[in-house]
Amino acid sequence: MTAARQCAVLVLAAGGSRRLGRPKQLVSTAGQVLAARAIRLARTLEPRWIGVVLGAGAGRITASLRGLADEIIVARDWREGMAASLQRGLRRVPADARYLLVMTVDQWQLDATDLRRLLVAAGRSPAAAGYAGRVGVPALFPRSYLSRLRALRGDQGARQLLTTGMVTVVPMSRAAADLDTPADLSRFRAGRLRA
């Protein structure tokens, strides 16, 4: 897939998991932690580059990711919100990448088919997952949007760009399953047992 070879992937994994009460990046599924799963999922696309942004608990999480990402980026200012982590990662995106795929680690039901559908929708405007009545990550941005991503502040991340302007929405029901609260963790464990 041509878009994949021209694509950089940024996996955001810097948050403190305050609502969950434990590092979601290190929650285990199928013998691997969620941060490693997200990177391996991105790797199935054979992209140009994969970077992962860490913050809270970076030392512990790094130890579980050795050899998986092309670059591990530590956002020391991760407490300022998702946009701060995104800014840190954007500084490292290769200059020759035509697209940037932004992912998080906690959407544990996503699979390679979901990510490939975003790449198929690659164009001059962002392509983003549509789920549970909203539009969000994973999302694919053309290089022309990187300056807009760099201008973001606070804890909204890229969502504010995805709710204004032209966006190709790719229906993606599996993106709705994330891991933010103890109730989410219970659903995650129940779903993993059924799989």
Residue 192 to residue 111: CA distance in whole angstroms:
14
pLDDT for the residue 154: 72
**Is 70 exceeded by the pLDDT of residue 195?**
no
Better-predicted residue by pLDDT, 131 or 23: 131
pLDDT digits (tens, 9 = 90+) for 7-63: 999 999 988 777 776 778 888 877 889 999 999 999 999 999 999 999 888 888 998
- What three-state secondary structure class fits 21? coil
Q: How many CB atoms lie within 10 A of CB 23?
A: 19
Distance of CA 193 to the CA centre of its chain: 24
The whole-model pTM stands at 0.91
DSSP secondary structure of 90-146: HTTS-TT-SEEEEEES--TT--HHHHHHHHHT-SSS-EEEEETTEEEEEEEEEGGGH
Chain-wide mean pLDDT for the chain?
88
Sketch out the chain's domains with CATH numbers: 2-194 (3.90.550.10)
* DSSP code, position 180: -
pLDDT digits (tens, 9 = 90+) for 67-103: 999 999 998 888 887 888 899 999 999 999 999 999 9
